[in-house]
Amino acid sequence: MYIGARGGRNLRELRELKDLRAQARTEHVVPVRVVGLTGGIASGKTVATDALRDAGFTVVDADEVSRELTAKGTPVEKELVKLFPSAADNGALDRRKLRLLIAGDASARKRLDAYTHPLIVAEIKKRLGGDRVILSAPLLFESALSALCDATVCVVCPRRIRIERLTKRDGMTAADAERMIDAQMSDSIRAPLADFCVPSDTSEDEFRAEIVALFEDIFGI
């Protein structure tokens, strides 16, 4: 079950909001155009994004934009190799090395963010045309991308499950997994900033259904 976060918005209030949106549509007004989706590493955000795409929603994924901009041979990738030579392998950027580097070095993270975030945000803005668009971004609040959204949803998950997912999925040690989680905004800070939160510590089928139902309600579908 999804829960209200910012302002204590609950299911009853969501239904009232849905009624208002239905009224607005009859007046040729679309009150919700872009909804942000966020969550910490290994929280389940990628599963949520896949579920929404499978349901027919248009999703702009900040991680995908970042990967495209930093793909091997691109000007951005070459600049990152110069900025972080210890994260390079045979002259090419090693993303795993870079992730571990910034997880343990706050100054390195700041340098990375200062260089890449403006580029990523600019590209995202180009892709947000149209209505009923979902902006999926792990740093939705940290990078102020939430300012582009009419509503926001946060995926939350217990820390122990996130550590377990990282060790199994990425083959990293529990210590490295904890460092990567700690390098990001905590759920205790992120969740209250969102309009709605969805826990992902259920079965995948249940979680996917809950995510799709929530976004259908938010968009008034």
Radius of gyration (C-alpha) of the chain in whole angstroms? 18
pLDDT of residue 3: 52
pLDDT of residue 130: 80
What b/e readout covers 159-182, taking b as 16+ CB neighbours within 10 angstroms? beebbebbbeeeebeeebbbbbbe
Q: In what order do the strands lie in the sheet with 34-39?
A: 3-4, 196-199, 151-156, 34-39, 133-136, 58-61
Tell me the pTM: 0.80
Residues 97-139 pLDDT 10s: 998 888 888 899 899 989 999 999 999 999 998 889 999 999 9
Question: Three-state DSSP class for 134?
Answer: strand
Question: Three-state DSSP class for 204?
Answer: helix
> Contact, 37 vs 48, CB < 8 A?
yes
Residues 112-121 pLDDT 10s: 989 999 999 9
Interior CA angle at 87 toward 85 and 90, to 5°?
75
Cα distances (Å, whole numbers) of residue 28 to 22, 95, 201, 216: 10, 46, 39, 19
Tell me how far apart the alpha carbons of residues 44 and 190 are, in angstroms, rounded to a whole number.
15
Domain ranges (residues) in the chain: 3-219
Q: Residue 74: what residue type?
A: T
pLDDT of residue 17: 47
pLDDT of residue 104: 80
Give the list of residues 6+ apart from residue 19 with CB closer than 8 angstroms, or none. Answer: none
pLDDT of residue 144: 83
Is 3.40.50.2300 the CATH classification of the domain at 3-219? Answer: no
Both structure tokens of 25: 């549509």
pLDDT of residue 21: 44
The list of the chain residues with pLDDT below 70 reads 1-31
Q: Maximum CA pair distance of the chain?
A: 59
